[in-house]
Amino acid sequence: MVIAALATVLLAGCGAEGPRQAGPAPTTEGGTSPTSSIANTAGPETSTATTETPVAATTVTTTSSSDGPLALELLGLITVENEHADGYDRTLFAYPATFGGGCNTREMVLKRDSLTPAQIDTFGCKVVAGDWLSLYDGLRFDQPGDVEIDHVVALKEAWDSGAWQWSASALTAYANDLVDVRTLRAVSMTTNRSKSDKDPSNWLPPDANDVCRYVSEWVAIKARWNLSMDESEFGRIRNLLLGQCADWRVDPIDAVATGAPAPSTLPAAPVATAAPTGDVYYANCTAARTAGAAPLYAGSPGYRTALDRDHDGVACE
**pLDDT given at position 18:** 33
pLDDT in the model for residue 50 = 34
- The ranges assigned to domains in the chain are 12-263, 268-317
- CA dihedral 221→80→159→26, nearest 10 degrees, is 50
One pLDDT digit (tens) per residue for the chain, 317 residues = 444 434 333 433 333 333 333 333 333 343 333 333 333 333 333 333 333 434 333 333 445 667 889 999 999 999 999 999 899 999 999 999 998 778 999 999 999 999 999 999 988 889 999 999 999 999 999 999 999 999 999 999 999 999 999 999 999 999 999 999 999 999 999 999 999 999 999 999 999 999 999 999 999 999 999 999 999 999 999 999 999 999 999 998 887 865 433 333 333 323 232 233 335 767 678 777 777 788 776 666 777 766 766 666 677 87
Q: How far is CA 199 from CA 38, 156, 218, 253, in A?
A: 18, 10, 9, 20
Q: Is the pTM of this model over 0.95?
A: no
Answer yes or no: are the C-beta atoms of 57 and 138 closer than 8 Å.
yes
Q: What is the pLDDT of residue 65?
A: 66
> Quick one: pLDDT at residue 96?
94
Cβ neighbours of residue 11 under 8 Å, at least 6 residues apart?
252, 253, 254, 255
Structural contact between residues 60 and 138, judged by C-beta atoms closer than 8 angstroms: yes
Q: Residue 13's pLDDT is what?
A: 38
What is the pLDDT, as a whole number, of residue 309? 66
- DSSP-assigned letters across all residues of the chain: ---S---TTT-SSTTTTSS------BSSTTSSS--SB-SBTTBS----SPPPPPEE-S----S----S-BHHHHHTTS-B-----S---GGGG--S-B-GGG-BHHHHHHHHH-SSPPEE-TTS--EEE--EEETTTTEEES-GGGEEEEESS-HHHHHHTTGGGS-HHHHHHHHT--S-TTTEEEEEHHHHHHHTT--TTT---SSGGGHHHHHHHHHHHHHHTT--B-HHHHHHHHHHHHTTTTT-B-----PPP-S----SS----S-EEE-TTSSEEESSHHHHHHTT--SEETTSTT--GGG-TT-SSEE--
Measure the CA–CA gap between 6 and 255, rounded to whole angstroms: 6
Q: Per this entry, what is the length of the chain?
A: 317
